[in-house]
Chains A and B, each alone.
Chain A
Amino acid sequence: MIERVVIDVDRARVVRLQMPPDPHRSSVCDDVECSGPFEDVEWSADGRQVAFLPTSRDHKEAHLRVADTDSGRVRQVLEEKVATYYESGNDAHNWRFLPASNEVIWFSERDNWGQLYLYDLQTGRLKNQITTGEGTSRSCSGWMRRTVSSTSAASARRRVAIRISFISIGSDSMGRT
């Protein structure tokens, strides 16, 4: 099990997040480091908040939480519970912490395909579904903070070949290009 901490490096101060230990898991692989750095962790630009995604050992539950990095206080934003196996993306997590616009981009296969959804960061309420249709949003590879537009590589299923198309889409699901 891992006990999450935030270290203030100038003061060498360790803040232990106020929550029980988490399984040694992430939503991308059976480890907390998959192909990049510490997986399922995103910082706010000012370093005052950190978002993270504890995942159950059997990958059936994931809980998106945000911690105050000074006090260690933690609050839950949203959770995903599935009967099979929750993976938030290929190679890297597919959710994005957007404190500047008070939003979260979330990945779910709840409509049978992997899609991106936009949530309110404060209330945890679903605002709208960002991507739709047949094909999985494989990665939320970029977004603009001001307009909160995401770019996803949507893989569309074909009989013979799998085509991966790059699309840019507004987070209100309008403006698909």
Chain B
Amino acid sequence: MRDTATGKETQLTRDGVKEFGYATDNAGWIHSDSPILLWSPDSKKIATFQMDERGTGDMYLVSTNVGHPRLEALEASRCRAIPGSS
């Protein structure tokens, strides 16, 4: 969290790890580096989640563009769990 007035940053969570991170927006082809959360009306609390993606497999995106397509290997943490994933 960054205080927009002072620029001071505060670490809110400490046990997030790769594929088990907080507020992650990385499950599927729609993904971003912004956290998914909802502030309480008094701005004292945040509702969010820690997403467990361990046990999911890799997925790939192929671009549609003029010329040769680009193959983007999505990290496991960026793919959507499919039937059979734990």
Contact = CB atoms under 8 A, between A and B. Distances in A.
B18 to A, nearest CB: 16
Contacts of A47: 40-42, 44-45
A113 interface: no
Interface of B: 1, 10-13, 22, 25, 27-28, 30, 36-52, 80-81
A12 interface: yes
A43 B38 contact: yes
B26 to A, nearest CB: 10
A3 B44 contact: no
Given A5-B49, A12-B12, A37-B38, 20 more contacts: A1-B51, A3-B49, A3-B52, A5-B47, A6-B46, A6-B47, A7-B13, A8-B45, A9-B1, A9-B10, A9-B12, A9-B44, A30-B28, A37-B37, A43-B47, A45-B41, A47-B44, A50-B47, A52-B47, A69-B47
Interface in A1-48: 1-10, 12, 14, 16, 21-22, 24, 30-33, 37-38, 41, 43, 45-47
Nearest to A3: B50
Contacts of A43: 38-41, 45, 47
